[in-house]
Structure 1
Amino acid sequence: MWCRYRVCLISFIGSLLLAIGFVTPSLAHWADLAVAEVTVEQTKTGIILTFPTGLVAWADDNRDGQLSTNEVTTHQAELEKFLGDRIRLVDDKAEVGKIAVAASNNLPANINSNANIHTTLELIYTWSQPVSGLTINYNLFLPNVPTASCLATVMQGGQTRNLVFTPEQREFSLINPSVWQQISSFVLLGIEHIVTGYDHVLFLISLLMLGGGFGYLLKVVTAFTISHSVTLSLAVLNIVTLPGRFVESVIALSIVYVAAENFWRKDLRWRWLLTFIFGLIHGLGFAGILKEIHLVQSNLALSLASFNVGVEIGQIAIVSIAFIVLRTIRKYPWELTFRRLLSGCVVAMGLFWFVQRAFY
């Protein structure tokens, strides 16, 4: 009995340290995110860019987390050099667009509550003659942050589409692009979203902690896939809308319950049903990042399907690795202690996240 209590105590202490390390990724959807609205014309391309002010902290003279009109004017030459180097637009003749930067009050409505950490600027690129081809290379990311991304809406020639810039995918064609650009960018966004979504990862791993064969694994993956796909779609279409604080808090509690259940549950027969129910809430969490931009109706199905495919690829990779590791260690005498230790860590971390999301 004392041994079991000691395992739980060690679990809680270890999980507290892990939770502190994961606190920012679990909460801050906007901290490393930028949004761009790109309008392509014959001799001019305009970008309304909302990005983390920390990237240009040297221009934030009063340190209020935003660049005022006066600060933009004061540092205009520096901003044009800085942003021109990191967001390059090149036409089909290899001519780089001349950039002009101005302050903008067009802060997207969905980040008004985060106005103190983001700045919105208007970037205008011009060419001396009409362009027939245009490529953008976007490299404005927080350093050493793999989850950094820019969600872009591009309007050109009466058509509107969505793209996602990441450190791994920085370059796109803005005129007559291939459909693969949009598919690949949203697939990568989906993979990144679940792989770096530590709460979703811990939920999936906790479901495998008690073992089970390939049939159980297939049921769990299928149930989670169907349920989160349904609510992801409904949320992006604004058919189902719940407060973000509520969704994130319930996701944390779902992690706590599944991990705690590993201490007493013996029968895995109906656990797939529990996975399906909790997966409905996780789907609303997945939808959060897609609701940060206006997904155009003409490309909505493609963007949504591509993102969901990316989530599934990441999910399959995670559960496959966890399944193999947990089955491998099953032959060792310390396997039961390890599972209890890991489950205890997940319980404590989930409780930490719940308190953080529900009350702060």
Structure 2
Amino acid sequence: MLALVAAGTAAAHGLGGKDAAFVAATQGPDIVPFLYLGAKHMVTGYDHLLFLLGVIFFLYRMKDVGLYVTLFSVGHSLTLLAGVLGRIEVNPYLVDAIIGLSVAYKAFDNLGGFRTLFGVQPNTKVAVFGFGLIHGFGLATKLQALELPQKGLLTNMLSFNVGVEIGQLIALTFMLALILGWRTLPGYRRMSTAANVVIMTAGFLLIGFQLGGLAYGAPA
């Protein structure tokens, strides 16, 4: 995971190349391609996936998995659509730094850091929904950087958002299968602690990359 993060924020997080050219050339509603773009962006969006992994890491009931994933999905859907359709512009470096913070936050929470160091336990549901709102703005900034034709914009953004949910479901299926298999191995609890330390470290690396971009104006 650390190697994935170090590979570069832009390569796995933005919409560029042929995807950007396609969006710029869109002349109206184009549902299927935008479904694909949304799914592709989520599947390759390692920052979103690291947070989602932290969220489900210690959830043992599918009912709980469904609840937390729904909170995250509602959060990022609201701000994705509001950001693009309402033209709410935010600094992409700052948003992505907060997304990195969300990754570190959830891993720290999984490690019991809040209870151990501060004697409190923040409301996990509120945190997941709140960070979902930030992740949605992160998705919106990538689309705002493109030349989005106004004709068919609502349909295309709804399609993109549905695609994001499809990509999230695909990634979630693989992550749940991996975690369920991992839990059957000896020493799972010990290894899970190390895994959350790695996730937290990846979150801090993401923060550092984005704050560096904010300070020096490097491409996000």
Partner of residue 47, structure 1: none
Q: 2:22 aligns with which of 131, 136, 151?
A: 151
Matched residue type, 1:295: L
Partner residue, 1:21? 7
The structure with more helix, counted as a fraction of residues: 2
Q: Which amino acid aligns with 1:333?
A: P
2:38/2:163 contact within 8 Å kept: yes
In the alignment, is residue 264 of structure 1 matched against residue 112 of structure 2?
A: yes
Partner of 1:334: 187
Greater share of residues in strand? 1
CA deviation after TM superposition for structure 1 residue 18, in Å: 4.2
**Aligned-partner Cα distance in 2 for 1:209–1:216:** 11
**Compared with structure 1, are the counterparts of its residues 304 and 23 closer, same or farther at alpha carbon in structure 2 (3 Å cutoff)?**
closer
Tell me by how many angstroms 1:299 deviates. 0.7
Task: Find the aligned partners of 2:69 and 2:24 in 1 and give their Cα distance.
Answer: 32
Contact 1:228-1:281 at 8 Å conserved across structures: yes
Is 1:202–2:50 an aligned residue pair? yes
Alignment of 1:233-252 (within 5 A): 233-252=81-100
Is 1:184 the counterpart of 2:32 in the alignment? yes
CA contact (8 A) 1:191 1:312 kept: yes
SS of alignment partner, residue 21 of structure 2: strand
CA distance, structure 2, for counterparts of residue 21 and residue 234 of structure 1: 30
Task: Please tell me the residue identity of whatever aligns with 1:253.
Answer: L
Q: Is the 8 A contact 1:26 1:199 kept in 2?
A: no
In 2, Cα distance between equivalents of 1:289 and 1:273: 25
Q: Does the 8 Å CA contact 2:82/2:88 hold for their aligned counterparts?
A: yes
The 2-side partners of 1:224 and 1:286 are apart by 13
- In structure 1, the residue matched to 2:118 is none
> Does the CA-based 8 Å contact 2:105-2:200 persist in structure 1?
yes
2:153 counterpart (282, 300, 304): 300
Structure 1 residues 246 and 338: alpha-carbon distance in aligned structure 2, compared to 1, 3 A threshold: same
TM-score (norm 1): 0.53
* Max Rg structure: 1
Give the alignment's Cα RMSD to 1 decimal: 2.5
Distance 2:4 2:87 in 1: 36
Runs of 4+ in structure 1 deviating by more than 6 angstroms, as ranges, are: none
**Residue identity matched to 1:151:** F
2:216 is aligned to: none
Q: Structure with the greater relative contact order (CA < 8 A, sep ≥ 6): 1 or 2? A: 2
**Cα displacement (A) at 1:190:** 0.2
- Kindly state the Cα deviation for residue 283 of structure 1 after the two structures are TM-superposed: 0.1
| Letter paired with 1:339 | S
What is the CA–CA distance in structure 2 between the aligned matches of 1:269 and 1:250, rounded to whole Å?
17
Contact 1:18 1:349 in 2 (8 A): no
User: Is the partner of 2:22 in helix, strand or coil?
Assistant: strand
Asked whether 1:193 is paired with 2:179, we answer no
| 1:211/1:327 contact within 8 Å kept | no
Q: Deviations over 1:129-173 (max 9, x none)?
A: xxxxxxxxxxxx5xxxxxx65234448xxxx42xxxxxxxxxxxx
CA contact (8 A) 1:25 1:197 kept: no
User: What does residue 163 of structure 2 align with?
Assistant: 310
Q: Secondary structure at the match of 2:112?
A: coil
Aligned to 1:274: 127
Instruction: Give the residue type in structure 1 aligned to 2:154.
Output: A
Q: How far off its partner does 1:280 sit?
A: 0.3
Change (3 A) 1:25 1:296: closer
- Structure 1 position 356 matched with structure 2 position 204: no
Relative distance call for 1:260 and 1:21 in structure 2 (3 A) is same
> Which residue of the partner structure matches residue 3 of structure 1?
none
Rounded to whole Å, the distance in 1 between the matches of 2:136 and 2:8 is: 21
Q: In the TM superposition, what whole-angstrom CA distance separates every residue of 1:323-347 from its partner, at most 9, and x where no partner exists?
A: 2221232232211122112111111
Partner Cα separation in structure 2 for residue 294 and residue 20 of structure 1: 28
Q: How many residue pairs get matched?
A: 207
Shift of 1:25: 2.6
Which of residues 216, 221, 230 in structure 1 aligns to 2:64? 216
Aligned-residue offset at 1:196? 0.7
Task: Provide the C-alpha distance between the structure 1 equivalents of 2:76 and 2:61, rounded to a whole number of angstroms.
Answer: 23
Distance, in Å, in 2 between the alignment partners of 1:22 and 1:292 is 18
Superimposed CA distance per residue, residues 263-312 of structure 1 (whole angstroms, 9 cap, x where no aligned partner): 1179x995232211000000011112321334334411110110011100
Kindly state the Cα deviation for residue 23 of structure 1 after the two structures are TM-superposed. 4.3
**1:16 & 1:252 partners in 2: Cα distance?**
13
| Structure 2 segments unaligned to the other structure (5+ residues) | 116-120, 214-220
Unaligned residue ranges in structure 1 (runs of 5+) = 1-14, 35-140, 142-147, 162-178
Q: TM-score, normalised by structure 2?
A: 0.83
**CA positional deviation for 1:205:** 0.7
